[in-house]
Chains A and B, each alone.
Chain A
Amino acid sequence: MTVEEYNKSVDDYSDGLYRFVLKNIKDKDKAKDIIQDTYEKLWIKVETVMYEKVKSYLFSTAYHTMIDVIRKETRITGFDEVNADKHSHSEQYSDLNEVLHEAINKLPEVQRSVILLRDYEGYSYHEISEITGLSEPQVKVYIYRGRIFLKKYIGSVETLV
């Protein structure tokens, strides 16, 4: 991959990467750090990564870096604080998208990641399996479980409203 292609990958994919990571960890500074780290890793391997595969490489690297950060923080904050409000609802909702993004935050990290990759980036099951290191059946199962949770969450909120 040339330097020009590397810089083009910055223009083309840094927004999507940032959005994907930010939606998962909800911390702008840490999300920026992960993006910086991801592109530094790409720069180190700029001669070996093919441009055709750069998007998959970027998302895969960002995903694994993000998972490391999340798990590290989980160990620090303690298990009890994770998803403490999994089934709680806010009192006010402006629109469905807001409800949906609140719901996505309550998903387990793997389910959240695969659904974000699916909906935000339009990746196929095979591509998601390459990025996350999961098998395709596993990806399908996680998407299935995530959809079930989201549907129930939306349904319960609509019932409340």
Chain B
Amino acid sequence: MDINRQNFETYFIDYLDGRLDPGQVAELLSFLGKNPDLERELKEFENIQIKPREILFPGKESLRKTISDIPVINESNFEEYCIAKIEGDLRAKDEVILEQYLADFPGKRKDFELFAKTILQPDTIFFKDKTSLKKPYAGLMIGRRTMWAYVSAAASIVILFILFIGTDWKLFQKKNQLALSETESSNQKTELVQKNIVPPESEKITEPGNKELISNKEKPVILKESGDNRELSNFILEHSQIETLTTEKSPRRDLIIEKTLEKLEPKGIIQVKQPVLLADLRFSREIIGEQPDKSGFLTIRQFAIREFKSKVLLEDEEKINPDRFSVWDMADAGVKGVNKLVGWNMELDKIYDEKGIITALAFNSGTLAFNTSLK
């Protein structure tokens, strides 16, 4: 920007403050040479300068303090200093000041000593039951049910071994069908012998809602199986007692067996030469031939079953049937025991077809799952 008569004052002020660069100074001097009146005005500017006067405050001495006058410790903050001292929070110079204060005011030392006495000394109290808090190095949880858990684990291994490896499933299937006396068991070569000829349709067992009674009159039925030397003889059925058996829509074949056993009154000797289906085995009174105890007391076996279901299966004691204990109960307990021990979530289930026949066993551990077909 060039200097002219409208902006020269700004240049003058910057020149006097020394803020113009050499080029601008040369330009300013050239401008002043062309405008002598303004050169005189600039000299007048240079003469205007305020010199500072030396003015002193007369009361300095009255404001001065000595070290003893500094209010570091006083009545209001003395306790705070004492507590800071016993807590170890005081800096070294503050400790010196506190000691000086206590020396100056001996009456305060007793208060300080009382603060020093408030530091608690621990009692000789020990926790004696440390072993109950400790854990085994294997990481297993030790609890009240440890024994049951170990027993369950051992049982589960045995049951799983039996169920998956050591069982003749085909034999079970055939026995199962034999026990149900189904007419469609022709593929197993079962021969139905009837003393008084019974029409095939009369043997169809009705559903509960149908109430279709068997038309044949109270004729005993003898089941014979031609193969495997298996035979059910002298097994007399009271047809009038068979009212609610189902053949097609029942979801659980083992329930059918139970109902059948409840409804039937054996009039002869039951001879089962081969094991009944293991997976559906019930150690019931009827099968093992134990007579009911009419005294009202539990037998040793009933007591054991009740304790097992209560302690291991965690069943409601009021709902426990001490007369019934299946292999599946044991397997269930075993799986629960292993789950408790190792923290898994294994499941073992039976898989039925639409006719209620067990077709497979399913095992699922969360990370590993597989089915084992029984056919």
Contact = CB atoms under 8 A, between A and B. Distances in A.
Contacts, number: 79
Contacts of A43: 135
A87 B342 CA distance: 56
B130 A154 contact: no
A14 interface: yes
A14 B121 contact: no
B87 A151 contact: no
B133 A151 contact: no
Interface string B65-96: 00000000000000110010011000000000
B135 A119 contact: no
Contact of A39 (B120, B125, B133, B136): B133
Contacts of B352: none
A144 B83 contact: yes
Interface in A70-120: 96-97, 100-101, 104, 115-116, 118-120
Most buried by B among A101, A143, A148: A148
Contacts of B132: 36
Given A15-B126, A15-B127, A150 B133 contact: no
B119 A119 contact: yes
Contact of A10 (B115, B122, B130): B130
B117 interface: yes
A100 B120 contact: yes
A118 B83 CA distance: 13
Interface in B112-150: 114-115, 117-123, 125-127, 129-130, 132-137, 139
Contacts of B126: 15, 18
Interface in A126-159: 143-144, 147-148, 150-151, 154-155, 158
Most buried by A among B115, B127, B139: B127
Question: Which secondary structure dominates chain A's binding surface?
Answer: helix
B118 A14 contact: no
A116 B123 CA distance: 11
B354 interface: no
Given A100-B117, A151-B114, A155-B114, A143 B87 contact: yes
B41 interface: no
Interface of B: 79-80, 83, 86-87, 111, 114-115, 117-123, 125-127, 129-130, 132-137, 139
Given A4-B137, A11-B130, A151-B115, 8 more contacts: A7-B135, A18-B126, A18-B127, A101-B120, A118-B87, A143-B87, A147-B86, A155-B111
Interface of A: 3-4, 6-7, 10-11, 14-15, 17-19, 22-23, 32, 35-36, 39, 43, 96-97, 100-101, 104, 115-116, 118-120, 143-144, 147-148, 150-151, 154-155, 158
